[in-house]
Amino acid sequence: MEVTRTEFEGLLIIGPRIFEDSRGYFYESYNLRTYKQAGIQYDFVQDNQSESKKGVIRGLHYQLAPHAQTKLVRVLEGSVYDVVVDLRRDSATFGKWYGIVLSGDNKLQLLVPRGFAHGFSTLSERALVLYKTDDFYNSESERGIIFNDDFLNIDWLLKSEDCIVSGRDMQLMRFQEAEFNF
The rounded distance, in Å, linking the Cα atoms of 3 and 148 is 30
**What average pLDDT does range 112-138 have in this prediction?**
98
- What per-residue confidence (pLDDT) applies to 68? 98
The rounded distance, in Å, linking the Cα atoms of 83 and 110 is 10
- Amino acid, single-letter form, for residue 94: F
- What per-residue confidence (pLDDT) applies to 125? 98
CA of 154: how far to CAs of 37, 81, 83, 96, 135, in Å? Answer: 34, 11, 8, 9, 27
- What per-residue confidence (pLDDT) applies to 132? 98
> Beta-carbon neighbour count of residue 164 at 10 Å?
14
- What per-residue confidence (pLDDT) applies to 16? 93
What pLDDT digit, counting tens, does each position of 23-52 carry? 999 999 999 999 999 999 999 999 999 999
Phi/psi for 87 (5° steps) reads: -105, 10
- Stated pTM of the model: 0.95
- 42 a catalytic residue: no
- Averaged pLDDT score across all residues of the chain: 97
CB 100 within 8 A of CB 7: no
What pLDDT digit, counting tens, does each position of 67-108 carry? 999 999 999 999 999 999 999 999 999 999 999 999 999 999
Taking the domains of the chain in order of start, what are their residue ranges? 44-177
- What per-residue confidence (pLDDT) applies to 64? 98
- What per-residue confidence (pLDDT) applies to 44? 96
- What per-residue confidence (pLDDT) applies to 55? 98
**What average pLDDT does range 142-160 have in this prediction?**
97
Catalytic pick among 61, 62, 67, 81: 61
- 81 a catalytic residue: no
Q: How many CA atoms lie less than 13 Å away from 30 in the CB half-sphere?
A: 18
The rounded distance, in Å, linking the Cα atoms of 127 and 80 is 7
* 3-class DSSP assignment, residue 151: coil
What pLDDT digit, counting tens, does each position of 99-124 carry? 999 999 999 999 999 999 999 999 99
Give the CATH fold of the 44-177 domain. Jelly Rolls (2.60.120)
The rounded distance, in Å, linking the Cα atoms of 135 and 90 is 22
Catalytic pick among 35, 81, 98, 131: 131
